[in-house]
Structure 1
Amino acid sequence: MAAIGVHLGASCACAAVYKDGRADVVANDAGDRVTPAVVAFSESEEVVGLAAKQSRIRNVSSTVVKVKQILGRSSGDPQAEKYIAESKCSVIEKNGKLQYEIDNKLITPEDVAKLIFSKMKETAQSALGSDVNDVVITVPFDFGENQKNALGEAAAAAGFNVMRLIHEPSAALLAYGIGQDSPTGKSNVLVYKLGGTSLSITVIEVNSGIYRVLATNTDDTIGGVCFTEALAQHLASEFQRSCKHDIRGNPRAMMKLMNSADIAKHSLSTLGSANCFVDSLYDGLDFDCNVSRARFELICSSLFSKCVEAIKKLLQQVGFTADDINKVVLCGGSARIPKLQQLIKDIFPTVELLNSIPPDEVIPIGAAIEAGILLGKENPLLEEEALIECSAKDILLKGVDESGADKFTVLFPSGTPLPARRQHTLHAPGNTSSVCLELYESLGKSPMSEEGKFAQIVLQDLDKKEDGLHDILTVLTMKRDGSLHVTCTDQDTGKCEIITVEVAS
């Protein structure tokens, strides 16, 4: 029996197959082990992968990139709005759904994801030589139910039998056999994933084969594309210096430079220097430039600092020092960069840094191993209950402090194992007859804003007090599916209000 593991990232997709007790990433028809998650549309066909990425210069408004960022989201979602603002493809809302408008045709994000999954299925089946459809799909830790459902449905529409969705950090641990090779004893593992468009860091406690997320944080302002852009800006400066033309305002020329910078960036992970050549970059002029690894590291030094500072912040959040971490797992294509690996080693000088599997292949390999476990070909150590669902975001209650300023209390920190129950007494001025309690969600990296508010509950007709405070007992229960049940009770009158939020996090 064989099975498949698929990781669909924002910039790339990768498939691994499980057969004869081992999992391996398989190459696509172009011979590449990783496929760009890019789909180009024309009147007669849809092209997926490298060919679509390379033709984007000529076909930018008909080429979809980063579909994972909008999958399962709706208009009004801050992430969706950011994506729409940056997208070179037209994105509109029709019948309550976001859709791409390409050549007068409407295409849903799920349709785009289905085409990428179809490519992954074709790649895996070609390597196996059989029509295997059983698959495990990986999802980011901060994906909500709508996004998970959209991803699963797109895979099913591509003809996959989706056995399970598992979180990317869990897949990374499975790839290295963490929690399986030595099932007794407790250890803390930091999973560091630097993908094309985001940085995710997760601290997981492994205890007797059970994974429990202690803390997680995702920063979508840093990713592999930032390194590519920094290098492309440097190349633009070099072109201006040698050819006396500033091409920074020319989208077509800059996209050519981005493609060249991307290839050079990958080369610099294994070579000491890389050549950037662009045929007819601008006004018929060719561009040829050599970039050393040292120059690249200098250009990106502030980005590297941002990437390692995020580790220190997360350790501080969970109350850990570097010595509390037993292993560090590297995943995501940009975690290949030697300078970044060295900086991480500097933070954890005595900790085992796991990078023997190419970082961009770790997560799909873990998914394929999970698929093998589900088929019963391995010791079924990771049963259903061993993967503990956790809250993806901080859930906070807004109150007021003694000076009248807004005060936010974290009731469910991100990574709280579910189901969970919290009790909190909110104090409100006695001279008011109604109290409004507001609930917010946050990834912990930005100040609270109205966009983070997802629910409110109002207690009315309270007895006013000349002095003293209203004591409002708030009981919150978050279920395994992320839904939140909230009960608010005024301790003096017994007045009570109850609400249920379907998916809080």
Structure 2
Amino acid sequence: MAAAYGIHLGNSTACLASFSNGAPAVIANDAGDRVTPAIIALNGTEWEIGLPAKSGNAASKSIIKNNKRLMNADFDGEDLLYVESSSNCRIQNDEKLEYVFETSETTVYSNPDNIATKMYAKLFTIASHSMRDDGDLKLVLAAPLHWSSASTDRMIKCAELAGFDVLQVISEPAAALLAYNIEDTPEDTNVLVYRLGGSSCDVTIAKVSSGFISIEKSVYRTDLGGQCLTKHLADYIAQEFKQKWKLDPQESRRAMIKLRNYADNCKHVLSTLNSAHVFIESLLDGVDWSQNVSRARFENIVQSKISEYVEPAQKLIESFDGKISKIVLCGGSMKIPKLQSAIANLLPEAEVLSGINPDEVIAVGCTREAGLLLDIPELALKDINTEVEFLGKDIYLKYLDQTVQIFKEGSPPYAQSIQSIDAGDVKDISFTLHDKPEGEQFAAETFNVESLSKPFTLKATLQQSNILLKVE
């Protein structure tokens, strides 16, 4: 049997979810964490992926972070500089871009695609261990809205080399909406999707109409990310250390790398708890550091940055002529309560959807889509800009003495209509399809329903050239 999975691989973290028992469920990694750091390191001659790469002695490893930035086929010098400054792996970009992993034991050359494949392979192993039976691992991926087809093709190839069977690629904002079933909203709805990851931020206004998601406006920023907040917290702790011990961690690159890792953990703890304890062994010159940081103190440290995070959303809302009734928050940094309330205050009357952990939202949305696509095995849409044709007329279903409209004009391909039918003691029942309530039929199908429980369900699926009827 095939199993459906969804993955969101970001610059900072990766999340894997599966579709089981009719609902998405996030799968924990081998360390028991629901989110895996998107970090890869060469330690001696051994590759480390995720938490092992992030922890331990960073000075002895060759580490690459924010690899996704260079998976974009249209990356620029700013992206290259950012990845190089956040990693301790040398990058050469002459005829082709290569990472140079250097340790005391070996030197290994690699590239962004190979690193992404290693990350997907790690997630493939986690997914395989979660399966009860052998089968294909069907996957839906999410890509940034601004990525080109060439970039998504690279991402698909990496996932397939790792062992997955990629069904579809959807945009990250669309995945966020799918996570909350917003596409099932009966009336037209405008939604603000605010994503704040570790190194980037994007804000999108999407319109949902008859199950179809269209992007109205979007803005992408690489100068805003959760790592800015981590840096502010790390600088604060460094100043506290300096004031007590007259030693400055900011003069040591090794000390600041170590401090930022602890500050990042502290930031995530403060997203759910009111205080966090920071203990750093041998921060500088053999001196340990122990400190409690309250959420109030952290919010005071980052207060000056809040307006910068609000600005892109505020400008997008002001430029949009329409009512926005829902807000979806996603990205690991949106776990911070101060940021959540700041974005919510932009639209006081809008419903804020934050029931799913923000760093799991996009993966959950991908998984819901994968679960739906298992019923449509011939579908393979791997371009997030694929053009589709919508239904040009209403469709009516007739059976016994009933006439029901099952699809409205403008319905998207693969839309579904489910009818509960009580046929009494009838053994065989015929269904006919019409484009008008009293028009001629253009299709018909008869089913034997004698063995089905009463009432039974009829599922109609709108396909490219016909309508598939199924009873169960």
Task: Name the TM-score class by shorter chain.
Answer: 0.7 to 0.9
- Residue matched to 1:163: 167
In the TM superposition, 1:107-146 aligns within 5 A as 107-131=110-134, 132-146=136-150
The 1:169–1:219 alpha-carbon spacing in structure 2 relative to 1, beyond 3 Å, is: same
Post-superposition Cα deviations, 1:160-196, rounded to whole Å, max 9, x if no partner, equal: 111111111100110100112x3x3211001111111
Task: Please tell me whether the aligned partners of residues 211 and 386 of structure 1 are also in contact (alpha carbons under 8 angstroms).
Answer: no
Task: Please tell me whether the aligned partners of residues 278 and 286 of structure 1 are also in contact (alpha carbons under 8 angstroms).
Answer: yes
The 1:271–1:43 alpha-carbon spacing in structure 2 relative to 1, beyond 3 Å, is: closer
CA–CA distance in 2 between the matches of 1:203 and 1:143? 17
CA–CA distance in 1 between the matches of 2:67 and 2:163? 19
CA–CA distance in 2 between the matches of 1:386 and 1:84? 30
The 1:283–1:101 alpha-carbon spacing in structure 2 relative to 1, beyond 3 Å, is: same
Aligned partner of residue 66 in structure 1, secondary structure: coil
- Residue matched to 1:214: 216
Task: Please tell me whether the aligned partners of residues 152 and 383 of structure 2 are also in contact (alpha carbons under 8 angstroms).
Answer: no
Residue identity in the other structure for 1:17: S
The 1:76–1:8 alpha-carbon spacing in structure 2 relative to 1, beyond 3 Å, is: closer
CA–CA distance in 1 between the matches of 2:166 and 2:381? 15
- 1:260 corresponds, among 259, 262, 265, to 262
Aligned partner of residue 71 in structure 2, secondary structure: coil
- Residue matched to 1:147: 151
**Could you tell me how far 1:385 is from its partner in structure 2?**
12
**Could you tell me how far 1:77 is from its partner in structure 2?**
5.2
In the TM superposition, 1:184-333 aligns within 5 A as 184-320=186-322, 324-333=323-332
Residue identity in the other structure for 1:105: V
Identity of aligned residues (%): 39
For the pair 1:79 / 2:73, whether they are aligned, the reply is no
CA–CA distance in 1 between the matches of 2:205 and 2:114? 34
Residue identity in the other structure for 1:195: G
The 1:257–1:84 alpha-carbon spacing in structure 2 relative to 1, beyond 3 Å, is: closer
Residue identity in the other structure for 1:266: H
The 1:33–1:82 alpha-carbon spacing in structure 2 relative to 1, beyond 3 Å, is: closer
In the TM superposition, 1:5-20 aligns within 5 A as 5-20=6-21
Aligned partner of residue 359 in structure 2, secondary structure: helix
CA–CA distance in 1 between the matches of 2:263 and 2:3? 38
Aligned length, in residue pairs: 381
The 1:351–1:136 alpha-carbon spacing in structure 2 relative to 1, beyond 3 Å, is: same
Aligned partner of residue 100 in structure 1, secondary structure: strand
- Residue matched to 1:93: 93
* Aligned CA-pair RMSD: 2.4
CA–CA distance in 1 between the matches of 2:382 and 2:234? 47
- Residue matched to 2:359: 360
Task: Please tell me whether the aligned partners of residues 65 and 86 of structure 2 are also in contact (alpha carbons under 8 angstroms).
Answer: no
- Residue matched to 1:444: none
**Could you tell me how far 1:118 is from its partner in structure 2?**
0.8
**Could you tell me how far 1:73 is from its partner in structure 2?**
3.3
- Residue matched to 1:172: 176
| Unaligned stretches of 5+ residues in structure 1 | 391-505
TM-score norm. by structure 2 comes to 0.76
Residue identity in the other structure for 1:70: L
- Residue matched to 1:487: none
The 1:5–1:318 alpha-carbon spacing in structure 2 relative to 1, beyond 3 Å, is: same
Post-superposition Cα deviations, 1:207-248, rounded to whole Å, max 9, x if no partner, equal: 111111000111111111111110000000000111111120
**Could you tell me how far 1:97 is from its partner in structure 2?**
2.5
**Could you tell me how far 1:124 is from its partner in structure 2?**
1.6
CA–CA distance in 1 between the matches of 2:383 and 2:351? 24
CA–CA distance in 2 between the matches of 1:140 and 1:191? 13
Post-superposition Cα deviations, 1:269-296, rounded to whole Å, max 9, x if no partner, equal: 1111111110111111111111111111
| Divergent runs of 4+, >6 A | 382-387
Post-superposition Cα deviations, 1:338-388, rounded to whole Å, max 9, x if no partner, equal: 11111122222211100001111110010011111111189x9x9969976
The 1:385–1:98 alpha-carbon spacing in structure 2 relative to 1, beyond 3 Å, is: closer
Residue identity in the other structure for 1:123: I
Residue identity in the other structure for 1:59: S
CA–CA distance in 2 between the matches of 1:185 and 1:56? 54
**Could you tell me how far 1:75 is from its partner in structure 2?**
7.6
Task: Please tell me whether the aligned partners of residues 172 and 362 of structure 2 are also in contact (alpha carbons under 8 angstroms).
Answer: yes
Aligned partner of residue 56 in structure 2, secondary structure: helix
**Could you tell me how far 1:135 is from its partner in structure 2?**
0.5
Task: Please tell me whether the aligned partners of residues 75 and 93 of structure 1 are also in contact (alpha carbons under 8 angstroms).
Answer: no
**Could you tell me how far 1:88 is from its partner in structure 2?**
2.5
The 1:294–1:127 alpha-carbon spacing in structure 2 relative to 1, beyond 3 Å, is: same
Task: Please tell me whether the aligned partners of residues 40 and 56 of structure 1 are also in contact (alpha carbons under 8 angstroms).
Answer: no
CA–CA distance in 1 between the matches of 2:74 and 2:89? 17
The 1:59–1:74 alpha-carbon spacing in structure 2 relative to 1, beyond 3 Å, is: farther
- Residue matched to 2:396: none
Residue identity in the other structure for 1:175: A
**Could you tell me how far 1:57 is from its partner in structure 2?**
1.8
- Residue matched to 2:68: 68
Task: Please tell me whether the aligned partners of residues 56 and 63 of structure 1 are also in contact (alpha carbons under 8 angstroms).
Answer: no
Residue identity in the other structure for 1:122: T
The 1:46–1:208 alpha-carbon spacing in structure 2 relative to 1, beyond 3 Å, is: same
**Could you tell me how far 1:326 is from its partner in structure 2?**
0.9
CA–CA distance in 2 between the matches of 1:107 and 1:235? 35
CA–CA distance in 2 between the matches of 1:120 and 1:243? 43
Post-superposition Cα deviations, 1:440-459, rounded to whole Å, max 9, x if no partner, equal: xxxxxxxxxxxxxxxxxxxx
Post-superposition Cα deviations, 1:27-70, rounded to whole Å, max 9, x if no partner, equal: 0000000000011114532111100011362235x111110011
CA–CA distance in 2 between the matches of 1:217 and 1:193? 11
